[in-house]
């Protein structure tokens, strides 16, 4: 009901003008209407600036990919690097300077994991690697230039990009800025099959996170060019920009921008409902397709690209590889909430300090990610990465102790993946991994909805996140064991075969000897006969 | 530092706690209880108070016995709710020691032998009720005659309750004078004597006895729960639908449906007892089947069974089917 009302309001908002309007989303199962509570946007006025901070003296770039597997570095210690130079596959240096170390450092991770990182000492010159292309460090200047660009010039750039897409995407080091950090080039280049729908994800549904909204309000024209480049590259039949209805100012500015460049992309206003911005609910909402968790959307003719990624793509087309992102600073205990553009590798503590948000005392919890999808940090001396969309400061919290499940089934009602969280919880507690698999634990998107509604305060999502990584671990162990067994069997077979071959050879040799011996005996007999006959003759 | 994955407060969670749910249900029972006090007997308050206190004590004992901390568990108020439901289900004149037996069965055998809240397969209040119905069949039919009540002071009644032996306790109290069959029992006995049922008389009797008003009170509370989304519509609607369907098809032609719906404890059962989430089926489809089963079984027991009221056994029997229903439902869901 509430949804209908809000979507009706959204509809009113979108009744302005322009052809890019589509207000018939299909909806998705479950989800929650939460207070959006975006502190980082301030009082939600037209003015919404993104603060820039100078990069710190030391930057720590984790050498891991989106699957948290480590990748091999392409630089060496004491090597001089330029801004934009590849440090590893799909990872570029955010500043120019010297590689000081390649070592294990703590990264943003719920378990306080350490991972191999490249530590770069910033020479504060920002010498770019792409000297041939237009390249500017100053964001303001860049914006001004982009605004001045007339359409023709932009289209020429896009055409140039389409012609050289593989190399340009390779240099751009684009990864999804929505939170999962999937390499964008991989997504785009795998889409050579005919693409029905390209969804630009501008539904930033989680409370407190407002980086995309701020970007849309301040740089909508660049985003529009990025969208245009994307839809030309993928040759999609339909390009939909999905925005939630509460982001009225962002909707306005995106509509103006799309109108200005005569884009064919549709603007789809979707009801504000968490987790509308997660991939599978979003696709359900926009196209009505339900994509099973173990299949890729691309095989169903859909890809989703985060709106901030399209901005980064446009920057890349202008010669600037992706080396920074907008981070929302929010939470009840953040003195100075804002959106700030941060180079990757900048420590969280430095960002907080530079924006006047250094925590007053150590009872304050610093969180990476939103209130539902994020987690508390063990230390603030960890680097921001492409996946860090939000930093929250919250007061110390005593979480209520979990009570027994009363089987109210509220969790299943809100689960966007249409799972049975209460059953899953039961089986994760009993460590029945095959049952969990049967109930599709893998399909859990860790959205936190079930956790939020559970009257017994059971930490469902945490349990699932742990169980999933545990299941993966067990699977990996199983794989290792299987491999070892295979190797063992192989070796055994090999040895057996060898032994058999040896036996065979011995047999054959014996056989040969035997067959050789036969004529010998005849000879011997013949000889004996001869001797005997000789003797006979001698006696005679 | 604790590693909190879902920050409920920052996310603005508005989830009800188990305690809030249970207390809301207790709150929703109030209109029905007020009507009960007014039209049937205020003794129900004595029973409820007694049941709640003994249930809390017994629960604390049981939890300690299981080696757990009792405060966090007792606070969820689920046993208090069950005790009130039990007190509402038994006749007001029930001797307290018999009620104590019912409460003990409810807390110990209905709940804690299975491991406490969330693990009990049967509705604890109905386990207690069934035990009492089987053990004390005579006193379980001691329903008050509202007209006889005027002759007695409340103090006398309470005194009578406290004395252990109801039959020989107080010669001044003529039991036949103050107790009376519920309308349902009345119909049953009339039918047994193959007398024709005079409708107007029956309606009069129902209205007089006040059961109608009590049930309207429970209905009001049930609607409040629905409105507050403490319960969902599936179970109450399907219980009543299940009952009405069979009653409409098979019961005496002279007996109007609304009378049979409003004269027993069908409303209480449909909104407050069958909706206990712990012992009900968990999915929506499962809940419809579960509720329909309760409605149908309670009709069968009322009509053909040896007991005037069928809800308790219907609920227990369907509790027994819950694992089956849940399993079948999951299979079905997977196939789709
Ligand atoms: S965290 Fe997982 S199980 Fe819980 S609601 Fe989200 S997807 Fe469903
Ligand atoms: S929401 Fe919590 S109490 Fe309710 S069924 Fe799910 S896990 Fe159990």
Residues B332, B188 share a domain: yes
- Are B280 and A407 inside 8 Å of each other by CB? yes
Residues B329, B196 share a domain: yes
User: Which residues in chain B are contacts of A405 at CB distance < 8 A?
Assistant: 118
Ligand 1 binding pocket mutation candidate from A409, A464, A469 (most atoms within 8 A of CB): A464
Distance of CA B205 to the CA centre of its chain: 23
Which span out of A164-168, A183-187, A416-420, B236-240 was modeled with the highest average pLDDT? B236-240
Q: Are B241 and B295 in contact (CB under 8 A)?
A: yes
Residues B138, B37 share a domain: yes
Q: Which domain holds residue B60?
A: 1-143
Distance of CA A258 to the CA centre of its chain: 28
Q: Find the range with the poorest average confidence among A249-263, A337-351, A524-538.
A: A524-538
Q: What is the structure's pLDDT at A477?
A: 81
Is the preceding peptide bond at A165 cis, omega within 30 degrees of 0?
A: no
Residues B87, B196 share a domain: no
- Are B282 and A459 inside 8 Å of each other by CB? no
Residues B323, B203 share a domain: yes
Residues B191, B130 share a domain: no
A409 ligand 2 Cβ < 6 A: yes
| Ligand 1 atom 8, closest CA | A415
For residue A424, report the distance from its CA to the centre of ligand 1, in Å.
10
Tell me if B160 is assigned to some domain: no
Question: Which residues between 467 and 506 in chain A have a beta carbon less than 8 angstroms from any beta carbon of chain B?
Answer: none
For residue A448, report the distance from its CA to the centre of ligand 1, in Å.
6
Tell me if B163 is assigned to some domain: no
Q: What is the structure's pLDDT at A255?
A: 93
pLDDT, one tens digit per residue, over B286-295 is 999 999 999 9
Last residue of a domain, one of B143, B168, B191: B143
User: Which residues in chain A are contacts of B18 at CB distance < 8 A?
Assistant: 403, 406, 455-456
A403 ligand 2 Cβ < 6 A: no
Tell me if B156 is assigned to some domain: no
Tell me if B173 is assigned to some domain: no
- Are B18 and A465 inside 8 Å of each other by CB? no
Tell me if B165 is assigned to some domain: no
- Are A207 and B12 inside 8 Å of each other by CB? yes
The closest of A255, A174, A262, A177 to A220, measured between CA atoms, is A255
Which span out of A34-48, A275-289, B66-80, B298-312 was modeled with the highest average pLDDT? A275-289
User: Which residues in chain B are contacts of A377 at CB distance < 8 A?
Assistant: 1
- Are A399 and B8 inside 8 Å of each other by CB? yes
A425 ligand 2 Cβ < 6 A: yes
Residues B186, B334 share a domain: yes
Residues B203, B131 share a domain: no
Last residue of a domain, one of B143, B169, B198: B143
Tell me if B125 is assigned to some domain: yes
Partner B contacted by A401 (CB < 8 A): yes
Residues B328, B217 share a domain: yes
Partner A contacted by B199 (CB < 8 A): no
| Ligand 2 atom 2, closest CA | A454
- Are A410 and B2 inside 8 Å of each other by CB? no
Tell me if B106 is assigned to some domain: yes
Using the predicted structure, report yes or no on whether residue B93 has a pLDDT greater than 70: yes
Confidence tier at B91 by pLDDT (50, 70, 90): confident
User: Which residues in chain B are contacts of A397 at CB distance < 8 A?
Assistant: 2, 4, 7, 9
Note the ipTM here.
Answer: 0.81
Partner A contacted by B153 (CB < 8 A): no
- pTM for the structure as a whole: 0.79
**DSSP string covering B223-287, please?**
HHHHHTTSS-THHHHHHHHHHHHHHHHHS-TTS-HHHHHHHSSHHHIIIIITT-GGGS-SSHHHH
pLDDT, one tens digit per residue, over B134-193 is 898 877 776 655 444 445 556 666 666 655 444 434 444 444 444 555 666 666 666 666
Cα torsion at A136, A140, A141, A146 (round to 10°)?
A: 90
Cβ neighbours of B291 (radius 10 Å): 27
Partner B contacted by A422 (CB < 8 A): yes
Using the predicted structure, report yes or no on whether residue A520 has a pLDDT greater than 60: yes
Distance of CA B157 to the CA centre of its chain: 23
Residues B188, B134 share a domain: no
Tell me if B336 is assigned to some domain: yes
For residue A415, report the distance from its CA to the centre of ligand 1, in Å.
5
Tell me how many domains chain B contains: 2
Residues B117, B2 share a domain: yes
Partner B contacted by A110 (CB < 8 A): yes
Rounded CA-CA distance A379/A107 in Å is: 9
User: Which of residues B67 and A538 earns the better pLDDT score?
Assistant: B67
Residues B66, B190 share a domain: no
Distance from the B333 Cα atom to the nearest Cα atom in chain A, whole angstroms: 10
């Amino acid at each position: 009901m509430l949804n209908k009302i809000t979507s009706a309001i959204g509809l009113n908002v979108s009744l302005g003008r322009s052809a890019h309007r589509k207000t018939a989303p299909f909806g998705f199962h479950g989800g929650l209407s939460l207070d959006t509570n975006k502190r980082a946007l301030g009082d939600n006025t037209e003015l919404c600036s993104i603060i820039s901070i100078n990069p710190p003296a030391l930057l720590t770039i984790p050498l891991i990919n989106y699957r948290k597997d480590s990748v091999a570095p392409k630089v060496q210690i004491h090597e001089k690097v330029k801004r934009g130079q590849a440090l590893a596959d799909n990872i570029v240096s955010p500043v120019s300077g010297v590689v000081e170390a390649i070592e294990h450092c703590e990264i943003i991770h719920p378990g306080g994991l350490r991972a191999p990182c490249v530590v770069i000492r910033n020479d504060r010159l920002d010498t770019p690697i792409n000297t041939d292309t237009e390249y500017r460090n100053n964001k303001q200047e860049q914006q001004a230039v982009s605004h001045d660009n007339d359409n023709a010039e932009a289209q020429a750039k896009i055409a140039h990009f389409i012609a050289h897409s593989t190399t340009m995407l390779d240099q751009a080091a684009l990864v999804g800025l929505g939170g999962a950090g999937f390499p964008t080039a991989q997504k785009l280049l795998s889409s050579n099959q005919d693409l029905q729908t390209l969804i630009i994800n501008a539904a930033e549904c989680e409370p407190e996170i407002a980086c995309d909204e701020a970007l849309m309000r301040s740089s909508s024209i660049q985003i529009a060019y990025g969208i245009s480049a994307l839809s030309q590259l993928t040759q999609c039949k339909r390009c939909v920009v999905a925005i939630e209805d509460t982001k009225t100012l962002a909707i306005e500015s995106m509509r103006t921008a799309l109108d200005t460049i005569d884009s064919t992309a549709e603007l789809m206003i979707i009801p504000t409902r968490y987790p509308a911005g997660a991939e599978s609910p979003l696709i359900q909402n926009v196209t009505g397709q339900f994509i099973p968790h173990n299949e890729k959307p691309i095989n169903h003719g859909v890809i989703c690209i985060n709106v901030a990624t399209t901005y980064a793509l446009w920057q890349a087309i202008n010669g600037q590889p992706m080396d920074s992102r907008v981070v929302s600073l929010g939470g009840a205990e953040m003195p100075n909430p804002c959106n700030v553009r941060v180079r990757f590798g900048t420590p969280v503590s430095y960002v907080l300090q530079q924006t006047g948000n250094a925590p007053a005392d150590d009872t304050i919890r610093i969180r990476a990610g939103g209130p539902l999808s994020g987690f508390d940090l063990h230390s603030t001396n960890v680097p921001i990465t492409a996946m860090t969309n939000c930093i929250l400061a919250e007061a110390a919290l005593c979480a209520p102790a979990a009570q027994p499940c009363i089987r109210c089934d509220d969790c299943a009602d809100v689960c966007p993946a249409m799972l049975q969280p209460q059953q899953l919880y039961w089986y994760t507690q009993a460590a029945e991994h095959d049952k969990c698999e049967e109930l599709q634990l893998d399909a859990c998107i860790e959205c936190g909805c079930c956790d939020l509604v559970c009257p017994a305060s059971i930490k469902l999502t945490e349990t699932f996140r742990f169980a999933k990584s545990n299941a993966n671990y067990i699977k990996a162990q199983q794989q290792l064991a299987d491999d070892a067994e295979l190797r063992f069997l192989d070796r055994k077979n090999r040895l057996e075969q060898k032994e058999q071959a040896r036996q065979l050879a011995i047999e054959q040799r014996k056989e040969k000897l035997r067959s050789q011996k036969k004529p010998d005996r005849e000879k011997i007999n013949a000889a004996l006969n001869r001797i005997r006959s000789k003797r006979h003759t001698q006696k005679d | 530092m604790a590693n909190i994955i879902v920050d409920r407060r920052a996310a603005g969670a508005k989830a009800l706690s188990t305690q809030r749910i249970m207390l809301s249900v207790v709150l929703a029972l109030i209109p029905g209880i007020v009507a009960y006090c007014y039209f049937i007997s205020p003794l129900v308050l004595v029973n409820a108070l007694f049941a709640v206190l003994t249930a809390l004590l017994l629960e604390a004992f049981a939890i300690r016995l299981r080696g757990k901390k009792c405060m966090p568990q007792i606070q969820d108020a689920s046993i208090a709710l069950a005790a009130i439901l039990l007190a509402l289900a038994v006749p007001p004149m029930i001797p307290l020691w018999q009620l104590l037996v019912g409460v003990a069965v409810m807390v110990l055998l209905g709940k804690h032998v299975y491991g406490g809240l969330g693990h009990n397969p049967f509705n604890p209040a109905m386990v207690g009720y069934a035990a009492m119905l089987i053990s004390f069949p005579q006193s379980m039919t001691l329903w008050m005659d509202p007209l006889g009540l005027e002759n007695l002071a409340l103090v006398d009644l309470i005194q009578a309750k406290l004395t252990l032996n109801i039959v020989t306790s107080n010669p001044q109290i003529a039991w036949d004078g103050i107790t009376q069959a519920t309308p349902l029992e009345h119909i049953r006995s009339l039918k047994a004597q193959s007398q024709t049922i005079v409708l107007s008389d029956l309606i009069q009797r129902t209205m007089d006895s006040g059961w109608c008003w009590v049930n309207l009170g429970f209905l009001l509370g049930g609607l409040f729960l629905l409105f507050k989304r403490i319960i969902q519509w599936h179970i109450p609607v399907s219980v009543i639908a299940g009952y009405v369907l069979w009653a409409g098809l098979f019961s005496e032609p002279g007996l109007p449906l609304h009378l049979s719906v409003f004269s027993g404890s069908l409303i209480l059962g449909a909104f407050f007892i069958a909706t206990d989430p712990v012992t009900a089926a968990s999915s929506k489809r499962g809940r419809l089947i579960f509720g329909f089963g309760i409605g149908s079984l309670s009709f069968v027991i009322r009509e053909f069974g040896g007991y005037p009221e069928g809800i308790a056994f219907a609920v227990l029997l369907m509790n027994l089917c819950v694992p089956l229903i849940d399993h079948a439902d999951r299979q079905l869901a997977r196939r789709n």
